[in-house]
A and B are shown apart, each in its own frame.
Chain A
Amino acid sequence: MQTQHAAPDYGNSYDRWNRALAHWAVHGSSEGTPIYLSVDEPALLTVARRFAGLACANIDEACDAFRQALIEKCVRCGPGGERRIDLSGLAGSDNDGIPRSVAFLAGMVFAAYQMDDDEVADDGAYFVRLQKLFGFAPDGQNFRPRGLELRPNRPAPEESLWQTWNRWLERNRFQDTAAQGDGRKYKYSNYPISQALLRKGDKVRLARWFRDQESTGALDHRSCDRDILAVRLRELGETLGSVRLKQLFQNTKDHRRFEAVIDAAAEVYDSIDWDQAAGASDADLIGPRRLRAGLYRTENFITGAIEYWLYPKMPRRWQGGALTVKRDGCSHRLLEQRPGWFMPLWPVTLNSEQRYPITGADDITELVLPNRDFWILVHDPDDEASGILASWAVPAPGQTFLLLCQEKHAQQLQVLREEQLLAWDEVVRVQQGERVWLEYRECQVESSRWSRMLPQPGCEDLLDALSPVMRVNVGLEGGLRIPGQHVWIEGHQPNLKLYQFGGEVELRIYEANAPEQLVFEGQAVVNDRVPLPPLAPGEYVIEASGEGGVAVRRLRIASWSQLEARPPTRDYSVPVNGFCLRGASLFPASGERR
């Protein structure tokens, strides 16, 4: 889908907010990403300024503008003069297919965000907040605002709007995450509450807690990035004062949600100005101050040398812009390589933290490669056949990966291998400056029975990072694929394999445009090929439900006649006496084609 940042001038209108919020929610996300409509105050300021083109000076102005637009659109006076919510203008989609209800749903999420830390997330507590958002006087008898009353034997009025939003996400090939809750008390409030990853005040609480952990040495911002936070928060989260936050960081049952929560927490972590004293407010934590870098591994064919390149990660919902990294007096523009990542910059030596100043953005000031003692690199998710490995993702069950670590971890890894929990193909020594690192190639976690393992000193993060998460991984292997897209060619479809450590998986495969057209439904074997019939060209949704939640993957089958030409981004022209030859295309070396 195309992203528009400068909509036609509707003023501070509901429609303007609606379009801006829809674009903001999915901006920068790659196909298949779970989307949370996690609207909070800083997000409203970002949406207002960068997506809606509104000149809001600060968070308060943005929030007021948003509320005003919502109220003007959605609040009417009833026959008795009472104010009530009117959803009649929110059904369906606009001319561009964007659901008309996005801003209203964002308002519902914003109300969930306003809940206090200790408020129970049930219908009663939640709808009181929603009433307050729309400026309704509290009603002691009915917690639902007028206009959203429940009718017997009918779903809640707002549920269809959530379903429209979910369908829009699916049509645009993202994963929807809003769903009913379990039980009567949480049935409908779960829709907005599930989207509000962090509540108001959580950022400040987290920022203070991060500073406390830094002062005790439990965390060190020089060596800690999002992936290290993900493993440390599970243990360190015990010391959080908020029971709700503690549960958030320790509940790995819903893997998708856990990853989204970690992303939100990492954003808070990267918003902290470590050079300034504590006392941050939300206004100071609008967005990350620093870009994080992972590693991008290459091998020089001539010399055999292995290099690890600085691989900058894009901030969430990056709106674009001319970011420049400075190094040794030279400026290097950050160019997008793929959704979520900039092009690799230069080879690095891995024995210290590396920081480079960034210009071109108000909030972001530096690019940081943390001083870690291990890295986990995975095969290219867009092109599994390529030999490139990088920090793209955490390995899923059944996936092999490369573990790059300092020698101090060798003994711990050997113990894991002897316990038949981890396997690898070989270990190769790689010199990095004065230190030797080890590459454990083609590592794979073989078993989920890690609870008996106790980490050796200094290996706690490594053990936690390698410990498998109980979830199902939908593997599409082999066949003939268009790399970078979830498209396989008719007659060369992939093999389907569901990886999970034991348990059962309920599998459902259906046509994306016709969910009733089932290809498969029922229990499926794990860790072995699932036979599929030959699939005709079209789009299919694969839903695998296991113990760790639901894994969804889309599969497109294209016929040969549907394939479109894609121009290359690189240039391997052959020089010919002042000309360049590319295939049968000959043009002067100055760039003009003949």
Chain B
Amino acid sequence: MARQFFSVLAVGTPNDVLHSIRLKVRALGCGHIVPVVYFEKKARGGQFYVFLGVEGSASGKAPDEVNVLCERVRYQKGVTSGGFVGQLLGPCSFEQIRSSLDPQEFDTSGSDRIPYCSRWVHDPGDLIDLLDVGGAATPDSDRTARFDHLLTWLSSVGEGRWETFLRACQTLGVADDSSSARSVFRRLSLLGHIEASTDAREWIICPPVFVRPPNRPTRCFWCGQRTDKWLGRLREVSTVLPEDQPGSLAPSRVTIEASDSFRAAIAADSEASRFEWHEQPLSDVLAAHLPDLDGWQQSLQPIVGLTNPRTVQRWEEQAYVDDTSFYIRDGRYHGQPGLYCITRGEGRHQSQLMFYFDEEGQRLLRGDWYGLRFLALRRAGHRCEALWQGQNGNGSMLVLRASERWPMIYERTLVLASGLLPEHSSGSNLLRYRDIPLSTAQVLAGKLGVELEVHSDA
């Protein structure tokens, strides 16, 4: 029912009358019947009309509460400074009184209003879905500079949430959207610059470390926190060699000649003494300590509290397919083991969640997406392969299929052998990791159950 208006003549100052009306409405508890009050335009003093908006006045008569209100706001000479003096008139519609009101009350476009602007942003994706969009990009020093700036910004912030990371990537022009920002995140993580919380909603910058590559004992490359100031300090005591990452898709690799005098200078510098050193190549150490595939699976975080999803898809071969066999009942999970992507919620609150379903262990496991996919392939009996190529005088290379990409922690071990991301040529499905010692490749392949072919140039 449309609101109706009753008018009454008043005296005094509009502010005093309004104040009185507000007090009495609160005292009577009749704000649900009289939700609004208007004043005649140009009401300054003397006499003016007040318009009471009334709800639920079907009969055309003012409800009792309105009459009581009018009596309570009645002007009493010598007692009150203002109040109602006339009788209640009406009802009338809003259109009938509109011309008597200040038009600014209804102005929806002037500067009296602040336009509504929602900041709600919904990202339906799962943040562990760190799918690297891959493909080769042409080297671009400007793009490398932007990534270097991103690392500097991350280093000066220290820690934060995913949303802040996304905003920074977009502002610096290294990612357009959530999907591409997740790729950036993954690459930074592979390079040892940042780590994420288990739900990937938060990140931290990693401490600055000089990492020794296995094939160049006199050099080391810099992982983790990095600022222009520190770079400047290092330049004062050593030769610093920045180099673009493959495709310029990440911050530059900064290599330093690690002479004894350099080490002494760093140890004496209060700022730079924060840097960690590795006496042994980190990739060797990690390869020795990483668990096998069973051990890695055991280390994954289980999901607790999941309810039956809206839609379910399972990874098969090279893509997700609809799956109707997965469900949860009486505390048990049912379905085939594998990598799943489920959808929860409705409309703008739909969101995805990915996990590996360990049917035997009755667990739903979270980890990096490539790792979960690799796990699903291996548990399904898929034969994963890799090729190690020794190149006389030109280092070595480990090659594997992008569709069989290793779990993050193992891939990071490969990346930290050289400080370089893998090359991913356009048109091929292959990833090439540089400067991987044969021993490292053999240890890791053995732990993951990957068949390793060895080619050595004589």
A interface residues, Cβ below 8 angstroms from B: 235, 300-305, 379, 383-388, 397-398, 400, 411-412, 415, 419-420, 423, 425-426, 441-442, 444-449, 451-457, 459-460, 478-480, 482-484, 489, 492, 499, 501-503, 526-527, 560-579, 581-586, 593-594
Complex contact A444–B35 (CB within 8 A): no
- A263–B120 CA distance with the chains assembled, in angstroms: 32
Shortest CB-to-CB span from A470 to chain B, Å, is 11
Minimal beta-carbon separation of A471 from chain B (angstroms): 12
- Contact between A455 and B224, CB atoms less than 8 A apart: no
Partner among B29, B164, B195, B225 whose Cβ is within 8 Å of the Cβ of A483? B164
A576 lies within 8 A of B206 (CB): no
B234 at the interface (CB under 8 A from A): no
Per-residue interface assignment for chain B, residues 89 to 123, with 1 indicating a CB less than 8 Å from any chain A CB and 0 otherwise: 00000000000000011001011111111111000
Contact call B111/A526, Cβ cutoff below 8 A: yes
Q: Complex Cα distance A526/B110, Å?
A: 11
* A459, chain B: closest CB distance, angstroms: 7
- What are 10 of the A-B contact pairs (CB < 8 Å)? A305-B305, A454-B35, A480-B153, A480-B172, A499-B114, A527-B111, A562-B229, A563-B152, A565-B208, A576-B409
Q: When A301-B201, A447-B113, A572-B196 are in contact, do A482 and B227 touch as well, CB less than 8 Å?
A: no
Any A CB within 8 A of the CB of B157? yes
Which residues does chain A contribute within 8 Å of B205, judged by CB atoms? 565-568
Across the interface, name the chain A residue whose C-beta is closest to B223.
A584
Tell me if B285 is interfacial: C-beta within 8 Å of chain A: yes
Shortest distance from the beta carbon of B97 to any chain A beta carbon, whole Å: 12
- Which residues of chain B have C-beta atoms less than 8 A from A303's C-beta? 305-307
Which B residue sits closest to A421, measured CB to CB?
B113
Report how far A302 CA is from B309 CA in the complex, Å.
Answer: 12
Stretch at the interface among B18-26, B74-82, B248-256, B429-437: B18-26
Per the bound structure, the CA–CA distance linking A559 and B271 in Å amounts to 19
> Would you call B232 and A561 a contact (CB within 8 A)?
yes
Q: Measured between alpha carbons, how far is A300 from B344 in the docked complex, in Å?
A: 13
**Are A502 and B160 closer than 8 Å at their CB atoms?**
no
Asked if B305 and A452 sit within 8 Å, CB to CB, the answer is no
| Partner among A302, A398, A499, A582 whose Cβ is within 8 Å of the Cβ of B207 | A582
Q: A385-B164, A483-B164, A582-B207 are in contact. Are A419 and B157 (CB under 8 A)?
A: no
A574 to B409, Cβ gap below 8 A? yes
- A480 in complex: contacting residue of B118, B171, B223, B348, CB < 8 Å: B171
Bound CA span A579–B30, Å? 68
Please state if A583 and B195 are interface contacts (CB–CB under 8 Å). yes
- Chain B residues with Cβ below 8 Å from A379 are 119
- Known: A400-B117, A583-B195. Is A576-B159 also a contact (CB below 8 A)? no
Pair B118/A442 contact, Cβ less than 8 Å: yes
Residues of B in contact (CB 8 Å), total 96
Q: State whether the Cβ of B194 lies closer than 8 Å to any Cβ in chain A.
A: yes
A209 CA to B420 CA, complexed, in Å: 71
| One of B25, B36, B163, B348 near A385 (C-beta < 8 A) | B163
Q: Which secondary structure dominates chain A's binding surface?
A: loop
Chain B residues, CB < 8 A from A420 = 108
Contact A383 B160 (CB under 8 A): yes
For the complex, is B276 an interface residue (Cβ under 8 Å from A)? yes
A479 to B110, CA, bound (A): 28
Across the interface, do B159 and A423 meet the contact criterion of CB distance under 8 Å? Answer: no
Check A383–B161 contact: CB distance below 8 A.
yes
Q: Which residues of B contact A568 (CB under 8 A)?
A: 158-159, 204-205
Complex contacts, B304 vs chain A, CB 8 Å? 302
B282 touches A584 (CB 8 A): yes
Residues of B within 8 A of A451 (CB): 18
Give every chain A residue within 8 A of B114 (Cβ-Cβ): 397-398, 444-447, 499, 501, 527
Q: Which B residues lie within 8 Å of A453 (CB)?
A: 35-36
Determine whether the beta carbon of A483 is less than 8 Å from that of B25.
Answer: no
CA distance A388 to B202 in the complex (A): 12
Report chain A residues within 8 Å CB of B25: 454-455
A594–B279 Cα distance when bound, in Å, is 9
Segment from B135-143, B176-184, B289-297 that makes contact with A = B289-297
Give the chain B neighbours of A301 by CB distance below 8 A. Answer: 127, 199, 201
A582: B residues at CB distance < 8 A: 195, 204, 206-207
Q: Which chain A residues lie closer than 8 Å to B23 at the CB level?
A: 235
- CB of A566 within 8 A of CB of B155, answer yes
In whole angstroms, what is the CA distance A480 to B166 when docked? 11
Q: How many A-B Cβ pairs are below 8 Å?
A: 239
Q: Which residue of A lies closest to B203 (CB)?
A: A572
CB <8 Å contact, B104 and A449? yes
B110 A502 Cβ-Cβ under 8 A: yes
> Which A residues are CB-close (under 8 A) to B409?
574, 576, 581
Say whether A584 contacts B192, CB under 8 Å: yes
Quick check: B204 and A570 within 8 Å, CB to CB?
yes
- A457 proximity list for chain B (CB < 8 A): 29-32
Question: Which residues of chain A are within 8 angstroms of B209 by Cβ–Cβ distance?
Answer: 583-585
- A448 in contact with B112 (CB, 8 Å): yes
Q: Quick one: which of A387, A449, A456, A572 contacts B163, CB cutoff 8 A? A: A387
What residues of chain A lie closer than 8 Å to B285, measured between beta carbons?
586, 594
Residue on B with the closest CB to A578? B289
Q: A484: which B residues are within 8 A, CB to CB?
A: 157
* B443 within 8 Å of A (CB atoms): no
Q: Is the CB of A502 within 8 A of B289?
A: no
How distant is the Cα of A449 from the Cα of B120 in the complex, in angstroms? 26
* Nearest chain B CB to A128 CB, angstrom units: 35
Q: What's the least CB distance linking B15 to chain A, in Å? A: 9
B164/A564 in contact, CB under 8 A:
no
**Nearest chain B CB to A127 CB, angstrom units:** 36
Known: A563-B152, A568-B205, A584-B209. A480 touches B286 (CB 8 A): no
| Cβ distance A89 to chain B, nearest Cβ, rounded Å | 39
- Tell whether, in the assembled complex, residue A563 and residue B228 are in contact, meaning their CB atoms are under 8 Å apart: yes
Q: Which of B31, B104, B149 contacts A454 (CB 8 A)?
A: B31
| Interface pair B299/A452, CB less than 8 Å apart | no
Say which residue of B155, B158, B160 sits within 8 Å of A386 (CB atoms): B160
| Chain B residues closer than 8 Å to A385, beta-carbon distance | 161, 163-164, 166-167
Q: Which of A448, A576, A579 has the most CB of B within 10 A?
A: A576
Measured CA separation A570–B230 after assembly (Å): 23
Q: Known A-B contacts: A452-B37, A582-B206. Give 9 more (CB < 8 A).
A: A302-B303, A400-B118, A478-B171, A526-B111, A563-B152, A563-B227, A565-B205, A573-B195, A586-B286
In the assembled complex, the CB of B299 is this many whole angstroms from the nearest CB of chain A, namely 6
A565 in contact with B156 (CB, 8 Å): yes
Contact A563–B153 (Cβ < 8 Å): yes
Residues of A within 8 A of B345 (CB): 304
Are B113 and A501 touching (Cβ within 8 A)? yes
Complex-state Cα separation, A394 to B427, whole angstroms: 55
Establish whether residues B120 and A441, one from each chain, have CB atoms under 8 Å apart when the complex forms: yes
- 5 nearest A-B pairs in the assembled complex, by CB-CB distance: A583-B206, A584-B192, A566-B158, A584-B223, A502-B112
Contacts of A442 on B, CB cut-off 8 Å? 118-120
Cα separation A220 to B118 with both chains bound (whole Å)? 35
Residue of A nearest to B166 (CB): A385
Q: Name the A residues within 8 Å of B31 (CB-CB).
A: 412, 454-457, 459-460
Q: Which residue of A lies closest to B299 (CB)?
A: A575
Q: How far is the CA of A385 from the CA of B167 in the complex (A)?
A: 7
Q: Is the CB of B119 within 8 A of A565?
A: no
Residue of B nearest to A460 (CB): B26
Q: Give the residue name and chain of the B residue nearest to A448 (CB).
A: B112
Q: In the complex, what residues of A have CB within 8 A of residue B276's CB? A: 584-585, 593-594
A419 to B38, CA, bound (A): 12
B416 within 8 A of A: yes
Cβ of B195 and Cβ of A501 under 8 Å apart? no
- In the assembled complex, the CB of A364 is this many whole angstroms from the nearest CB of chain B, namely 30
User: What CA separation (Å) do A501 and B104 show in the bound complex?
Assistant: 12
**B424 contacts the other chain (CB 8 A):** no
Question: From A499, which residue of chain B is reached at the shortest CB distance?
Answer: B114
**Contact A482 B152, beta carbon cutoff 8 Å:** no
Chain A residues lying within 8 Å of B171, measured Cβ to Cβ, are 478-480, 492
B211 CB–A CB distance under 8 Å: yes
Interface string of B180-200 (1 = CB under 8 A from A): 000000000000111111110
Instruction: Tell me the B11-70 residues at the A interface (CB within 8 Å).
Output: 18, 21-23, 25-26, 29-32, 34-38
